Amino acid sequence: MCERSFFVALRKELSIIRFTRPLGSRQIEGRILHRARESRLEVKSHFSMDKISLVGSEFKPGKRLATAFVITLLFSVNACPETKQSPADPARHLGVVLGAGIGSYREDLVVPISFDGPAFILGGQYSVRTARNSLQIRLCISAAPLKNRFSHEAYSTTLELRPSWTRMVWSNGHSRQFWGGIALPLQMRNLFLASWDDAHLYWLTTHSLAVVGEYHTSLPRLGYTVIRLDLPIIGLVSRPPDYRYRQQEPLNHFSYHFSAPNKSFDLKTIWGFQSPLLQVMIRPESRGTLLSLGLELALDHCREPKDIWILNTRLLVRYQWKIS
C-alpha cells in the first residue's frame, strides 16, 4: 500500500488530495483536504468512473462525469506503488501520444497556395530516464484533410520516428534544469493534392540529425513545465522532381508505392531545409504514470527544387505508464 500527496487546483481553491490504493485492487480511495475552508472531504473513486462519492454528498454519474474523469485521471497519475528507487536507476515508461490541431501546407512544385485543415496525430512513446540522462523514442502518424481558399481538396499524412537522447547539463536544484542532447528524426510527410495533381504524390522526407534543448522548470501546483526545441542541422532530404508541373513521371515507373517517397536523397544542412520542433508541455510531478499536456509547433521548409512549407500546431496529450 502506498500513500502520497500532491497538489491540484480544484476550481478556485487549493486542495490537497490524499489517497491510498491497496495493491492488487482497482479501487482508489482518498481524501481531499480542503485547505481554504479548513474542511475535510472524503473521496472514493473507482477506475470505472461510475461513481465518485464525497463525504456528505455524492457526484451523480453523468452530471459530474467530467469532474469525475479529471479527478480519476489525476489520481491514476499518482496511483502507483511507491518504489524505493535511487536517482541513478532508470525509469522506463511506455505510452500513447494524442494530438489535434491545425496543419498548413504549401507545395510550390504544384501551386503556391496554402492548404489548411484539422490535423490529428496518434502515436506512442517510449522513454528511459535517470536523474541525469533521458532517452526517448516517439513514433507517430498524423493525418490532415486540407482545403485551400477555393475549397480545393488535398490530404496529408506524416510518419515520424524520433529517437532522442538528452542529458542534464545545468541544474538549479530541483526547480530549474537545462538538458541538452541530440535527436535523429525520420519524417515522411506526404501530400496528395487531389484537385491539382491526381497523378502524383508529393513529399518531404528527411532523415536528420538535430540538436535538442530542454528547459525544465517547476510550477507551483502543476508540476513541471518542459520547453523543448529540436533543431535539425544536417540531414538527408528527399523531394519530388520539379518536372511534374509539365510532365508525368514515366508511366512504367510511376506508382503510389510506399517506397517512392524515399528515393533521391540529397544531403542538406540547415540552410537547405529547416525543421524545428517546439514543445511546451506541462507535466504533473510524478514518479509513476506520466501525463503531459501541451502545445507542439512543427515547421518544415525546404527550398529545393521549389519551396515547400509545412506548419503543424497542435494540442498534445501524452500519457505514459511506468513499465519498470
Q: Which spans of this chain sit near another protein (rule: CB under 8 A)? A: 101-106, 108, 110-114, 116, 148-150, 152-153, 194-200, 244-248, 250-252, 254-255, 295, 297, 309, 311, 313-315
Q: What are phi and psi of 263, to 5 degrees?
A: -95, 160
CB-side neighbour CA atoms (13 Å) of 72? 19
| Contacts of residue 83, Cβ cutoff 8 Å, sequence gap at least 6 | 287
Sheet arrangement for strand 13-21 = 2-10, 13-21, 27-34, 39-46, 52-54, 57-59
Least distance from C-beta 22 to another protein, angstroms?
A: 32
Return the number of the residue (54 or 315) whose C-beta is nearest another protein: 315
Closest CB to another protein among residues 114, 133: 114
Cβ–Cβ < 8 Å for 74, 274 = no
Closest to another protein by CB, 26 or 257: 257
Q: Which one, 91 or 281, has the nearer CB to another protein?
A: 281
- Least CB distance to another protein at residue 242 (A): 11
Q: Which three cell numbers stand for residue 102?
A: 491545425
Residue 18's H or E segment, with its range, is strand 13-21
124/305 with CB nearer another protein: 305
Q: How far is the CB of 243 from another protein (least distance, A)?
A: 9
Q: Which is nearer to another protein, 244 or 303 (CB)?
A: 244
CA dist list (Å): 201 to 47, 171, 271, 275, 299: 45, 47, 25, 21, 20
Instruction: For the CB of residue 324, give the shortest distance to another protein in the complex, in Å.
Output: 34
Residue 77 DSSP label: H
Exposure string of 212-245, with b = 16+ CB inside 10 Å and e = fewer, is bebebeeeeeebbebebbbbbeebbbbbbeeebe
At closest approach, how far in Å is the CB of 315 from another protein?
A: 6
Q: How far is the CB of 246 from another protein (least distance, A)?
A: 4
Q: How many helices (H) and strands (E) does the chain have?
A: 1, 19
Mapping DSSP to helix (H, G, I), strand (E, B) and coil, where does residue 71 land?
helix
CB of 4 to another protein, least distance (A): 24
Separation between Cα atoms, residue 11 and residue 147, nearest integer Å = 39
Instruction: Give 255 or 324: the residue with its C-beta nearer to another protein.
Output: 255
Give min distance, CB of 260 to another protein, in A.
12
CA–CA distance, 290 with 223 (Å, rounded to integer): 11
Rank residues 170 and 258 by Cβ distance to another protein and give the closer one: 258
